[in-house]
Structure 1
């Protein structure tokens, strides 16, 4: 895991691949919990029998937004950003979903620092986030995650 202590540390990684998180298995329990939390109980996510018999993937799949919501958890496995008064999830740009994540698949976050900008004391960092699916050539998604940091 990388340690980033300040703006200069972050800037030194600009344009570089930071690394990979651990693999995380998305099981039906997690999918169902996410469906309950978001009130999105579409059958493709929660009805195993219907998904297997009528669905295009012959399996339930994780919600796209569930896979996105894993970014903070997986990101913390790649880098520890220290000396921060506040960190803000500012946005996601240029996001494309490339592949459905089937139930019981394992996913892994790959992070690359695209840019680091000092906005008068607030540090804007754009991370190219790619969610890899184990044993699958296509990623679940690729997008630019934007964080704002207020370092001490």
Structure 2
């Protein structure tokens, strides 16, 4: 369920809040192939399902950076901020990929709004996120994301 807030003050009031979990996103071979085309990373472990069956994971896996890029659509399913003029990704403090995402898996985001800090013209948010794999013992990614919202 998407939490909608109106303006920077409402966003500041959420600092320290658990934002819950997003809906699931399917990680399909088509998604992996499209990412491979966009990045030029056509390593067989991602794009050759037959060869990948014989590889270490028994199936093709998503690129780690594909998994990371899913943070944005997953996060926008958790928090929608109105009353701002601009929203930008500012960066990452850290990211780890504890487990691979095999093609055919589903992932979702569990997130906490760790901090909201003033910056010139707006605020910077720090989000602690875990991208979970449906049925997985370990998460696909653990990260701390920084975004800025300007009034």
TM class by shorter-chain length? Answer: over 0.9
TM-score between both structures, scaled by the size of structure 1 = 0.94
Secondary structure at the aligned position of 1:84 is classed as coil
Q: Distance in 2 between matches of 1:66 and 1:136?
A: 18
Unaligned runs of 5+ in 1: none
Answer whether contact 2:8 2:122 (CA < 8 A) is retained.
Answer: no
Residue 37 (structure 1) aligned with residue 38 (structure 2): yes
Deviation per residue, 1:33-79 (Å, 9 max, x gap): 110111100000001111111x1101100001111111111111111
> Where does residue 60 of structure 1 map in the other structure?
60
Structure 1 range deviating more: 13-22 or 108-117: 13-22
Task: Report how far residue 129 of structure 1 moved.
Answer: 1.4
Shift of 1:121: 2.8
Quick check: 2:16–2:113 contact (8 Å CA) kept in 1? yes
Which 4+ runs in 1 deviate beyond 4 A? none
- Residues matched between the structures, number: 150
* Offset of residue 16 of structure 1: 1.7
Structure 2 gaps, min length 5: none
Distance 1:83 1:7 in 2: 8
Separation (CA, whole Å) in 2 of partners of 1:71 and 1:112: 13
**3-state SS of the aligned residue for 2:85?**
strand
1:99: Cα distance to partner? 0.6
Could you tell me how far apart the structure 2 residues matched to 1:111 and 1:28 are? 26
1:1-152 paired onto structure 2 within 5 Å:
1-53=2-54, 55-151=55-151
CA distance in structure 1 between the partners assigned to 2:28 and 2:80 by the alignment: 27
TM-score with structure 2 length normalisation?
A: 0.95
Q: CA deviation at 1:122?
A: 2.0
